[in-house]
Amino acid sequence: MSESREVDEVTLDALRELVNIGMGRAAAAISGITMRPIGVEVPVVEILDTFKGRNLPEINERVAVRVTMPFAGDIEGFGVLVLSKSGAGRLVELLLGRARLGDVLDEDEQSALLEVGNITLNRVIGLLLNELRGEVEYQIPQLHLRGIKSGVDLISDLQPETVGGMLIRAGLKVEAEGVYGYLMLLLPERHLNQLIESVARMAA
């Protein structure tokens, strides 16, 4: 398998638009909770046959913060939000309106990141999965620290390294300061193919 999957530009544009709508809804929801203006950057979307060997430029540290939301039902897989450790720390400072006192994420900071992950994954991944028209039950998201050398280290405990999906580079702007990370949608190949075909029909 090649790492990147060929998808026509019309379908990719439609996927970007769905992701952009989902990110906008997530930003609005987070802004409503924190009472801080939050914007979004135009997301970059890739379809991958495998995450093996993939390096993620925004996650350039040895440890990353990962929020994982499993889902099951007619469609099974994982939604994943990944931030560098320093990026996650800066994000909670902006959201909570205070400087961090140490390197370890305290309970309030973990709760803030879990809420950001929950809202973002539900808005973006949920919008995409709706295209598959299946019954899906979302499970409680969890936060983990992951040691990383490449992208596959972020998901090696969730899926075999040969399983691909959708990789989204996304950014939230809080008080005009951007914090960037990655959303991953990990799906069995048949469901990934169905998603691409559904979006292609919608875009035609």
pLDDT above 70 for 181: yes
Task: Collapse the DSSP code of 186 into the 3-class scheme (helix H, G, I; strand E, B; otherwise coil) and give the result.
Answer: strand
Please state the domain extents for the chain.
Answer: 9-203
Q: Is residue 48 scored above 80 in pLDDT?
A: yes
How large a percentage of the chain has pLDDT more than 90?
61
Lowest mean pLDDT among 53-62, 78-87, 110-119: 53-62
Q: Is the pLDDT of residue 84 over 60?
A: yes
pLDDT at 78 (0 to 100): 94
Confidence of residue 180 (pLDDT cuts 50, 70, 90): very high
- pTM here is 0.91
Other residues' Cβ atoms within 10 Å of the Cβ of residue 97: 11
With the C-alpha atoms ordered 190, 141, 23, 160, is the resulting torsion angle positive or negative?
Answer: negative
pLDDT at 189: 87
Average the pLDDT over 52-60 and give the result. 84
Q: Using CB atoms within 10 A of its CB, is residue 64 exposed (0-12), middle (13-18) or buried (19+)? A: buried
* Separation between Cα atoms, residue 18 and residue 91, nearest integer Å: 24
Q: Give the span between the Cα atoms of 128 and 203, in whole angstroms.
A: 14
Query: Per-residue pLDDT tens for 120-175?
Result: 999 999 999 999 988 999 999 999 999 988 888 899 898 766 667 899 999 999 87
Lowest mean pLDDT among 26-30, 101-105, 183-187: 101-105
Q: Residue 1's pLDDT is what?
A: 35
Mean pLDDT of 33-49: 89
User: Does residue 78 contact residue 167 with C-beta atoms inside 8 Å?
Assistant: no
CATH hierarchy code of domain 9-203:
3.40.1550.10
What is the per-residue pLDDT across 16-30, written as a single tens digit (0 to 9) for each?
Answer: 999 999 999 999 999
